[in-house]
Each structure stands twice: as structure tokens, then as C-alpha cells.
Amino acid sequence: MLKTVDLSGKFDRAAPCVMLLGGFDGVHAGHRRLAERAKRYSLPVGIMTIGGGKGEKSLFTFSEREDIFKGLGLDFAFELPFSEIRELPPEAFIDLLKSSFQPQAFVCGSDFRFGFRALGTPALIAASGVRVETEELLCIDGEKVSSSSIKRLLSEGDAAAAAKLLGEPFFLKGEVIRDRQVGRLMGFPTANVLYPEEKFPLKEGVYEARTEVEGREYKCIANFGSRPTFGDERVLTETYFDGFSGDLYGRTIEVRFIRYLRGVKKFDGADALKRQLESDIRRVRQGD
């Protein structure tokens, strides 16, 4: 029922720990506050995620979240399948965590709810005899920091505003696949990454992006969506690295979306598309 991932290489299930509670389908600025609060205990910190919840797509895949969790200095992650806990009484949910780990404290948002019909509250956890610390809802630039707010901004193409709430740019991590090499024939070789089915999609379009290769960060233009000029309806991310030459096939890259440049459109041919790409690159170089 409960899947645990050792993030630090030192996780001991029998050791005292602190646990972050929430859905964590993504990690935003509010979650980062929770992590910093939990780390004050100087104990191993674990973070909860819920898998397959309500048919909703996650901001980040579990693999992407693992990278974020490691970057935050967390020690382990545990995933609870939504299908198995949605009808679990709140008291049974608490007992599951207490019997699976050795929690000395729980840290969560003040609005955290759990168990059957979301009847469980932080106060109920405290009543079970384990310390609970809560954080109030965070707002940035008048915007509520929540996964739903971030998803709305991404669906509107506002990657810059979403990055403020996330605490970092929204990103895609994946393996570069070998494709038709149309971009290379046009003088614009691209790294193509399929977009995971379970990942929440941002608005289709062309974005300014950043990607790191061998320790160097490159400015990029990334097309997210289909390629109507060439009759390709697959949804993928096609990224051109400004100033990079090399072979990335089979390598895993992380594409960070900085800002929306324009929508996906069908051009009259390769020459018209090439002129537009040259214009996109100038905008990225100049910061227009």
C-alpha cells in the first residue's frame, strides 16, 4: 500500500523522523517553507505524496519530484495510492503513518485534510499524541500559492507567474528521442522529449527556456505541442539550444520554461517557419 523511496541513501524506517503531510503533486513556495520548518528538528525528514488522485494530472512526475525533494535536502518520500486511502477513516490514516514510521512531529498546511470525506484535520493528529506544526496559506503578488493556482497560470501560458509560486521555473525532465530531424535539416537541430501523459500540460506554444548540458546553461526556444506545419499531431517538447552543437540522443535533459513567446501556428512552409524561429531566437537573446 505504501511505497517508500530513500532519497538520502541513509533512510532507516526505525529511526525517529519528521513527516511533511500533503498531496505534493508539485512542490511550490509554500511547500518549501514547510520543508525548512521540518528540517529545524535535525531529524530525517520524509514527505508524503498521493498517487493517482481523482484522475487529476500532477504538476511533476514522481521522478521529477524526487529530484526536487533531494534538492530540498529531504531524506525519504512515501507515496499513498489515492484509490486505497480515499475511504480510509482519518484515525486509520494516522495509525498507518505511526505504524509505518517513527514520527516525532508532523508538519503541514493549516488547511490540510485527510481520510474519508476529508474529515481529518491537524487537530486530530495532535490528539493522537504526536506534535503537529502548521503553516498558514502563502500569497505572492496577491496570488494564492497552491497547485490549482499554478495549474491555472500554466494553462494560460503565464510561465513567469507560475515560477514565482513554484519557487523555480516549471520544468520537464525526459529522455531525448530520435525523431525525423526536420529541425536539423533547416539548420535548427532540436532535442525532442515526449511529454508524459500523467503530467499537467502547460498551454501549447513556443517558450523561452533554459537547459543545462555538461555544466553549462543554454538559452533555448522550446515548442510545446504539435507541429502542424509538418502534419505531426503528437504532443512533445522540441527544444533548440542557442550556441550548442552536439548529440543529445538518449540523454536525459531538464527543460525549464521561462516565458511564453507565441502560440503554435501552421506556416506556409519550412522557409517561413525558419524566419519565425530566427525571430524567436533574437527575442530570447535580447530579452524582449
The DSSP call for residue 24 is: -
Kindly give the confidence (pLDDT) of every residue in the chain, 288 residues in length, as a single tens digit, with 9 standing for 90 and above: 567 899 989 889 899 999 999 988 889 999 999 999 999 999 999 999 887 666 688 999 989 999 999 999 999 999 888 888 888 999 999 999 999 999 999 999 999 999 998 899 999 999 999 999 999 999 999 999 999 999 999 999 999 999 999 999 999 999 998 876 655 555 567 899 999 989 999 999 999 999 999 889 999 999 998 666 555 666 678 899 998 888 888 999 999 999 999 998 777 777 788 888 889 999 999 887
Contact present, 46 and 76 (Cβ < 8 Å): yes
Phi-psi region of 52 (alpha: psi -120 to 50; beta: other; left: phi over 0): left
Identify the three-state secondary structure at position 96. helix
Contact present, 88 and 116 (Cβ < 8 Å): yes
How many CB atoms within 10 Å of residue 43?
18
Identify the three-state secondary structure at position 2. coil
Distance (Å, whole) CA 59 – CA 145: 14
What pTM did the predictor assign?
0.89
Distance (Å, whole) CA 86 – CA 266: 45
* Closest to 4 measured CA to CA, from 41, 51, 43, 40: 51
Q: Does domain 3-135 have CATH number 1.10.150.650?
A: no
CATH number of 169-286: 2.40.30.30
> Can you give the residue ranges of every domain in the chain?
3-135, 169-286
> 3-135 with 169-286: one CATH topology?
no
